[in-house]
């Protein structure tokens, strides 16, 4: 399902959602992932911070269709969905996401891309990741 353009926190966002389910209360946006369900659960803990995809999808669907909204990653590998939960999704969509995107937009406008080291938890890009490559050089 195509979304947008939708304005959130001063940014105009467009995209395409894998799946939107209608429920008795509203909707659930679903994004298919190849990684494990456990990996998707870890991503959900970052929702609204570094994980913005599902919150943006949820905001777009709620703006277009109204009603309650929930969001989920569905691991194709494990045939298992991990949901964010309607209450948390609503809080992120209403309060967290606009502020986060406004902050990111300001950083884009001012060119503020400072180095922000973080602990590597591994991801699908490990084989080509320069961060991993450089940290392994340090250990030599
Ligand atoms: S492998 Fe690289 S891109 Fe992936 S989480 Fe670690 S540092 Fe980040």
Q: How far is CA 75 from CA 33, 61, 103, 113, 129, in A?
A: 5, 21, 30, 32, 23
Which domain, by its residues, includes 13? 2-113
Q: Is residue 106 in a domain?
A: yes
- Assign 66 to helix, strand or coil: coil
**Is the four-CA dihedral 17, 6, 111, 114 of positive or negative sign?**
negative
Q: What's the CA gap between 90 and 80, in Å, rounded?
A: 23
Instruction: Tally the domains of the chain.
Output: 1
pLDDT in tens, 100-126: 999 999 999 999 877 766 677 777 888
Q: Ligand 1 centre and the CA of 117: distance in Å?
A: 10
Q: Is residue 13 in a domain?
A: yes
Residue whose C-alpha is closest to residue 90's, from 67, 60, 72, 69: 69
Q: Is residue 120 in a domain?
A: no
For residue 59, pLDDT over 90 is answered with yes
Q: Regarding predicted confidence, which is higher, 70 or 25?
A: 70
Q: Is residue 133 in a domain?
A: no
Q: Is residue 76 in a domain?
A: yes
Q: Is residue 128 in a domain?
A: no
Q: Is residue 125 in a domain?
A: no
For ligand 1, say whether the CB of 42 is within 6 Å of any of its atoms: no
Q: Is residue 107 in a domain?
A: yes
pTM: 0.78
């Amino acid at each position: 399902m195509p979304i947008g353009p939708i304005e959130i926190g001063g940014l105009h966002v467009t995209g395409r959602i894998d799946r939107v389910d209608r429920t008795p209360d509203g909707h659930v946006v679903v994004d298919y992932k190849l990684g494990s369900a456990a990996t998707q659960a870890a991503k959900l803990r970052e929702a609204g911070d570094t994980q913005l995809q599902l919150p943006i999808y949820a905001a777009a669907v709620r703006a277009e269709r109204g009603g309650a909204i929930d969001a989920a990653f569905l691991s194709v590998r494990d045939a298992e969905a991990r949901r964010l939960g309607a209450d948390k999704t609503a809080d992120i969509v209403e309060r967290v996401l606009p502020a986060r995107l406004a902050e990111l937009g300001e950083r884009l406008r001012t060119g503020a891309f400072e180095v922000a080291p973080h602990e590597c938890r591994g991801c699908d890009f490990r084989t080509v990741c320069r961060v991993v490559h450089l940290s392994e050089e340090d250990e030599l």
